């Protein structure tokens, strides 16, 4: 499972012109699911992300987690995090889990992150989404389990 975290001042997700998620400050979590991923990976990332100190304290140091700042998260499923570009000019996505596996695991990750105490919203699995991200810093962190 792969997660690309973007620390945000504000973000929103729209599908067909309708806003389905909006939050800030906090995180947009672009989440990719691989073939071998399961509950263990989802739980690890939920715990890691909720406690990761990537928000600044009064001295400008990364000493606060999303929980410390009462931040919010938007989770957006993104199979393209599993793009393999080593050959040719078109990415291969064969390492990404199929939708029947990935969709429930994304939902489970959202549940686990919420259970950690993070107010969490999500995009729409499989939909063409417009994701507006006001990256704060910018701070972008890659996690993988």
Q: Which domain holds residue 23?
A: 2-144
Q: Give the Cα separation of 7 and 24 in Å (integer).
A: 9
Number of domains in the chain: 1
Tens of pLDDT along 51-78? 999 999 999 999 999 999 999 999 999 9
What's the CATH number where 120 sits? 3.50.80.10
| Residues with a known catalytic role | 78-80
Please name the residues in contact with 95: beta carbons below 8 A apart, sequence gap of 6 or more.
34, 35, 82, 84
Tens of pLDDT along 74-87? 999 999 999 999 99
């Amino acid at each position: 499972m792969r997660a690309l975290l973007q620390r945000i001042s504000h973000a929103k997700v729209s599908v067909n012109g309708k806003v389905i998620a909006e939050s800030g400050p906090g995180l947009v979590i672009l989440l990719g699911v691989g073939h071998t991923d399961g509950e263990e990976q989802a739980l690890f990332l939920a715990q890691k992300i909720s406690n990761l100190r990537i928000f600044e304290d009064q001295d400008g140091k990364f000493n606060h987690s999303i929980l410390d700042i009462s931040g919010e998260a938007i989770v957006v499923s993104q199979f393209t995090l599993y793009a393999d570009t080593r050959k040719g000019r078109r990415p291969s996505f064969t390492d990404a889990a199929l939708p029947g596996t990935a969709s429930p695991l994304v939902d489970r990750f959202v549940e686990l992150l919420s259970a950690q105490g993070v107010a969490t919203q999500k995009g729409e699995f499989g939909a063409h989404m417009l994701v507006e991200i006001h990256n704060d810093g910018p701070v972008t962190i890659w996690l993988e389990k």
